[in-house]
A and B are shown apart, each in its own frame.
Chain A
Amino acid sequence: MQTNSWIPLFPEQASTFAWQVDALYFYLILISVGFTVPIVGVILYFFVRYREKEKFATGEEIHGSIALETIWSVIPFVISMTIFLGGAVVYYNQYRPPAEAMEIYVVGKQWMWKLQHSTGQREINELHIPVGRNIKLTMTTEDVLHNFYIPAFRTKADVVPGRYTTIWFNATKPGKYHLYCAEYCGLNHSGMGGWIYVMEQRDFDNWLSGNVSGQTPVQAGQDLFQNKLGCASCHEGGASQRGAKLEGIYNHEVKLASGQTVIADDEYIRNSILNPSSQIVEGYQPIMPTYKGQVTEEQLISLVAYIKSLSGGTGGSKTTTTTTGAMNSGGNTTGTSGANSNNTLVAPRADRGAANNQGSNPNAPETRSEPTNTQER
């Protein structure tokens, strides 16, 4: 739509809440025109009607009117409240990711986007997603502020160093859409963009299976946890372990030594790794060293994903934290270990796609190539 017309006016509507944003936009245009036209009309009329007839004539003495002042204070206030409420409703939908969502991890850095699917596939400046699925992005950055912006989905969010931010969307139309960085990030800010490829589920499955996945975030996290960083030496071992118990904590309340109670979300787990003494769990000693500077943002995401996987019943992440048979066979040993297997469900659709199409996808080894089959659709 926007590429055909000479002057583009609206970006494509390609997410479930895009129409709501557009409806709000049209409502505001209507209000703006409804204000501007009468006011400008009245002003122009007065300009002509009350043009000076005699030099230095005095206009009529009118001091004001409480009634009029009240009317034109109350009416704009009421209208502005409708705009506020409309915006609040739309925002609520944008802000709250649905419980059931496919998770993708995003790390921004000057000047590229690194994305990883929970099935392990990595992409740079491109994201392939299936149509009609809730997608939740958990994002952070290695350096400065960035902003993940997809105009066709009418959503964006700042990507902030030192914390996780999220956005979600549900794409409604297969196609290729702009991805921009919308928060100024230095030299090549305007080059930090890419494309979102929305594909039919079948094509997405093809694409997924055609890509060498390597470790999934959960597998990578487990590897870090048990081998590379040695977290397991304190956080595993049952009754005698020195570190806090991690099984089942995700999205549950944790009682801290300070008496506070917090919800163990992604941010909490992240902070506990980087700054352990800030939130000591009740009943444990502040003996954990900080891992700040020793783990990259991507490793942190993997660790958080692994710790989340230790809490089986986390709703949406069940279906998305998947490892297919085809992927596990790719020379990866930690992924099938006992601690992980009972928390790892196999997504039937992804699995079927992998079985049916492995090796037949022409795009198989090249993660960054375009999915031609979707584009012709």
Chain B
Amino acid sequence: MQNVEAINLRNIKQEPKTNYLTNGFTLKSWLLTKDHKRIAILYLITVSAFFALGGVYASFIRLELLTPNSDLLQSATYNRVFTQHGIIMVFFFLIPAIPAILGDFLIPLMIGAKDLAFPKINLLSWYFYMAGGGLTLYALLQGGVDTGWTFYTPYSTTFSNSYVMAVGLGIFINGFSSILTGLNFIVTIHTMRAPGMTWFRLPLFVWAHYATSLVMILGTPVIAITILLLALERIAKVGIFDPAIGGDPILFQHLFWFYSHPAVYIMILPGMGVISELISNFSRKKIFGYEFIAFSSIAIAVFGFLVWGHHMFVSGQSLYAGLVFSFLTMVVAVPSAIKIFNWTATLYKGSISYDTPMLYALFFIGLFLIGGLTGLFLGSIGLTVHLTDTYFIVAHFHYVMVGGQVLAYLGGLHYWWSKITGKMYSEFWSKIAAIIIFVGFNLTFFPQFILGYMGMPRRYAAYPPELQVLNIFSTAGASILAIGLIIPLIYFTYSIFFGEKAPANPWLLPGLEWRTASPPPTENFEETPIVTWEAYDFTEDSGLDLEDARNKYKVTV
């Protein structure tokens, strides 16, 4: 990388005297910051802590399932462990991970703005996240919650003797973090693009976040209302969901999934945005079918609101409702397929380098293919009667959420790590870790498809002995996956203190975020950039001195 540094100097005027990291060292300068980049760092630290906690719960789940009997954990504990794994991973890791960390950091940089439209609201979002997360942690320490992350009624309102309301309130408060972040992104993308940065010059990462923000704003209030209704029934005994006092338990499922299905797209759309960046930039050519990828994100966001009923195929909903939701589910598969085809076509006649982020992109496509295709199994209503509520569905959503979103997040984190910290990580260890994660992930979750078809129900602390072999595979895979996830923690931390200094633009890419120092100054750009090139433009039009860089590279090698 030292070679690249020499080359880079031509494209960057000069190193700024202070960057956003060195602009103030007090705790106050962090906790009261209005800088989107510092807020992203706050999210990075806290979201990672929640990810680790969720991972600890996951480890206990897999250890318990090593044997058919409920021996390591009794049912009461096991039920809390899987519930808390789900709640923490969904609400406090998957939903904020890419938007709040990478989105917060990069959207202003990518569109050539100094900050988000509402810097104070951005900070407020983080405090909502912390308040919600803190309340949830408090509930977990008090004894936890055992309703499953889905909070199905009437169990959650009438029967559960756990801390449902504290966790519910935690999620309720955390929801405002999502809403405000989404609002901030939408206003920023509309109003703060640099001169020349037209809508169709936006990086696809920004398009994906625009679609995600729409879902955050429109969907999150519904879960907030649902939690309020749940509280009304649990505390004040107003009959809304419990039929014993005049309610309807299915109503809860409609309300819950009306948010929680679109929430799945909050989790995956930003990941797709990251992958579009990686594929295009590491092939060093314009992405294939830019408009189709951009609008497929919007299509996913819109159709995502129309398919919630596919979570309720066996809940007693009518034949016709089932058929309509099955049909719409098939339709929503198409935009995802379009993305995969366009990514593949982008590679054609590219100049592909095998850097770690690209490795993650490759693994993402493989795992997302399996995750998406098994979604068709579950959308096909005749098949899903057998498959739903089994390990097949557990495997499916982990392929999408972990194989998709987490790999995209890790790929993005590696890709922008030099920009965020100004340091380079170990290329060797990062590749090793990526491969370990890929292998461990597949070994963990692929056997669960078979377990599901065998009929093993989810949320079981004990299972029939004939299913043990597959469960042993899964637990073994989880151990490998855990190792693969710990390695990046080590080399990322190492790189902050001992890593090589990163150049402004290590891969010589055209995106605006690469046209400022690493790490960027507090105001992002020394002067407002004027955009005259299309997205992913690797020709001389982009203003990068590519010819010169190539020649210098040859000399320094």
Contacts and interface: CB of A to CB of B under 8 A. Distances in A.
A46 B283 CA distance: 10
Interface stretch (B103-111, B230-238, B243-251, B268-276): B243-251
B174 interface: no
Contacts of B464: 178
Contacts of B155: 144-145, 184-186
A187 B347 contact: no
Interface residues of A, number: 91
Interface range for B: 35 or more
A155 B385 contact: yes
A54 B351 contact: yes
A189 B337 contact: no
Contact of A24 (B338, B344, B380): B380
Interface string A309-348: 0000000000000000000000000000000000000000
B288 interface: yes
B75 A87 contact: no
B350 A56 contact: no
A4 to B, nearest CB: 10
Contact of B454 (A11, A36, A81, A186): A11
Given A60-B285, A69-B292, A80-B330, A184 B459 contact: yes
Interface string B367-389: 00110011011011111111011
Given A59-B283, A59-B538, A64-B290, A51 B352 contact: yes
A35 B373 contact: yes
A50 B159 CA distance: 60
Contacts of A73: 334, 337-338
Interface string A63-100: 11100110011001100110110111111111110000
Interface stretch (B125-133, B314-322, B518-526): B314-322
Nearest to A33: B373
Contacts of A77: 331, 334
Interface stretch (B208-216, B220-228, B437-445, B466-474): B466-474
Interface in A171-206: 178, 180-191
B244 A161 contact: yes
A87 B383 contact: yes
Interface string A267-307: 00000000000000000000000000000000000000000
Contacts of B284: 52, 56-59
**For chain B, what secondary structure do more than half of its interface residues adopt (helix, strand, loop), or is it mixed?**
helix
A95 B319 contact: yes
Contacts of B352: 46-47, 50-52
Contact of B347 (A7, A46, A55, A90): A46
A2 interface: yes
B316 A188 contact: no
B376 A31 contact: yes
Contacts of B334: 73, 76-77, 80
A8 B319 contact: no
Nearest to A162: B243
Interface in A1-29: 2-3, 6-11, 20-21, 24-25, 28
B549 interface: yes
A157 interface: yes
A39 B347 CA distance: 12
A88 B285 contact: no
A62 interface: yes
A245 interface: no
Interface of B: 70, 75-76, 79, 146-148, 150, 152, 154-155, 158-160, 242-244, 248-250, 283-286, 288-292, 314-316, 319, 322-323, 326-327, 330-331, 333-334, 337-338, 340-342, 344-345, 347-354, 362, 365-366, 369-370, 373-374, 376-377, 379-386, 388-390, 450, 453-455, 457-464, 466-467, 469-470, 508, 538-539, 546, 549-550, 553-554, 557
Given A28-B380, A184-B459, A190-B462, 8 more contacts: A8-B470, A20-B382, A59-B285, A72-B337, A84-B380, A152-B455, A158-B315, A186-B160
Q: Which 7 A-B pairs have the closest CB atoms?
A: A151-B455, A162-B243, A90-B382, A59-B285, A87-B380, A190-B460, A59-B350
24 contacts: A2-B466, A8-B454, A8-B466, A9-B453, A11-B453, A42-B344, A43-B365, A54-B550, A56-B549, A56-B550, A59-B283, A60-B350, A65-B289, A69-B292, A76-B334, A88-B323, A145-B155, A147-B457, A151-B454, A181-B457, A184-B79, A184-B147, A186-B79, A189-B75
